[in-house]
Amino acid sequence: MKKMICTSLLGLLVVPVTTLAQELWITIGSDGYQSLKKNSALMAKEALDAQGERNGITILKVNEDNLSDISTIMHNSHNRCGGFMVHDSLEEAQNAQLSPLANTVSSIVSYTIDNADVVNALQAEISEANIRTTITSLSNFTNRYYTTSTGVDAAEWIRDKWQALTSSRSDASVQLYSHSWAQPSVILTIQGQTNPDEIVVLGAHLDSTVGWSTGEGTRAPGADDDASGIATLTDVVNAIVATGYKPAKTLAFMGYAAEEVGLRGSDDIASDYKSQNKNVVGVMQLDMTNYYGSNSDIYIIGDYTNSSQNAFLKDLVQTYQGNLSVGTTTCGYACSDHASWHDQGFAASFPFEASFNGSNPYIHTINDTLANSGGDANHAVKFGKLAAAYVAELAKGAIGDDPGPDPDPDPDPGQEQTESFSGSVSRGGEEHYGPFSVTPGTSFVADMTGTYDADLYVRFGAAPTWRYYDCRPYDNGSAENCTLQVPTGDSEAYIMVRGYSRQTSSFELDVTYTPQ
């Protein structure tokens, strides 16, 4: 069993250090194995020890140091993220060979569509701006690779984000899930009200890569692959909190580590859940949701997924987003984390941004940016609404009788007001605020104090980045102020706080403006 580390015990987290590369077993589609054999550099290392082929799946014994090479070859030859699964033993790999192309475990699950009030309430809260802001925050990490310090920082940022979103919910908890490498996975659990032993899983991977060369300092923004998936899940969580929705079944939102090197994070978790006999009634994977590359709006991956649940997803789109078109496509063996759950016999589905051949051509490069997905998150909104419908119709439940006061009520127009925020940022980490609806020609003041050294950025009309902003004070320490007049023609202001010091900087932020 893998160790679950609660947020209250984070100071005890010890990251394991591996000094010797480990020998591992992988399963890979036999078409992928043929591509590996054609790579002279990999073969020169004598890196592949074939252990047998069955059901179109080949077992290889490999050195851990070669995983990034194999991942790069699979991306270049087959456009698959990962494209193979890592196992700790030959026995595990042999069991994985028996995984069918499509399972029917969901025959024990009753798929009904009868919770429209909850679906409509959740979908109304899905926000392009929220998703876009989270994509920007995640892609601003230098990289999120599974062995790097910024990869760990990104996981902790997600942990902090999810914890902040659900801080008002006594039924919610956020945990880091440790692995044998540096980067943890992140799990947010919202306890079911009437059937807590039945679990609905929604996942996305939090790591990023540009292939074999990825390391400390390598730029790998991964805006679509897969900051978009994490951002989409995050906005569903926000919708759950905003509406006061209480699921009948337990919800588990997961940010998986190390997907790009063999689905390693999700494999650990799915294996763990299986060994504990946890009753996972459905799994949805969101890996790349924001590149609109094909004719249909949403594509359902048809191989190594559950056919009954796939049909359920199509019905959800037709019922609640009837203006959208749905297609089907395939992606091959182990193309994303849904395969880890499928391999353990759970019903898993993978709605995707495009046909597989029409998906984002920029992934695994420094050009996987929000700008190259159109500069907005409009396509991802479709997947956020699908995920919201999936949650409400599979986990059931209802909107709480009293969700409490609006935590962010709309201000009275024309009256100056001040909003206060607090947070913390590690080096290179970012927190984004806004958009603030502002009146042109009025004053906009952002005043920050805090510990160590964090940098303040303000921009009108779009979220700031470390390159693009209207104000950045360049002061030492975290005491910084931006006082600006809102330009004519602008009605939105955005703020970013970015960590500079090696120590984590805490900050208090007061924003004073006249709402429109």
Residue in 364, 379, 393, 480 annotated catalytic: 364
Choose the catalytic residue: 268, 287, 343, 453: 287
Per the annotation, the verdict on 447 as an active-site residue is no
Bond before 226 cis per omega within 30 degrees: yes
Bridge partners, 459 (sequence order):
494
Vertex 118 angle, CA 114 and 120, to 5°: 95
Cβ-proximal residues to 278 (8 Å cutoff; 6+ apart), any chain: 199
Active site residue 75: no
In the annotation, is 492 catalytic? no
Q: How far apart are CA 385 and CA 131, in angstroms?
A: 12
Number of neighbours of residue 232 by Cβ within 10 angstroms: 31
Q: Report the alpha-carbon distance of residue 508 to residue 163 in Å, rounded.
A: 18
Element housing 235 (H / E):
helix 228-243
Our answer to whether residue 431 is catalytic in this structure is no
Q: How far apart are CA 427 and CA 511, in angstroms?
A: 23
Q: How far are the Cα atoms of 39, 99, 363, 420 from residue 233, in angstroms, in the given order?
A: 37, 27, 20, 26
Indicate which residue of 69, 125, 259, 431 is catalytic. 259
Distance, in Å, from the CA atom of 281 to the CA atom of 110, rounded to the nearest integer, reads: 10
Q: Which of 64, 69, 207, 225 is catalytic?
A: 225
The C-alpha atoms of residue 417 and residue 419 are separated, in whole angstroms, by 7
- Residues 6 or more apart whose Cβ sits within 8 Å of residue 2: 177, 178, 179, 268, 269, 272
Which of 75, 87, 179, 205 is catalytic? The answer is 205
Between CA 9 and CA 19, with CA 13 as vertex, the angle to 5 degrees is 170
CB atoms within 10 A of CB 27: 29
Query: At residue 429, what are phi and psi to the nearest 5 degrees?
Result: -80, 155
Give catalytic status of residue 470 as yes or no.
no
Residues 6+ apart with CB under 8 A from 373: 223, 224, 228, 290, 291, 292, 360, 379
CA dihedral 459, 462, 468, 472 (to 10 degrees): 20
The answer to whether residue 259 is catalytic is yes
| Catalytic option among 125, 260, 337, 431 | 260
Question: What are the residue numbers of the active site?
Answer: 205, 225, 259-260, 287, 364
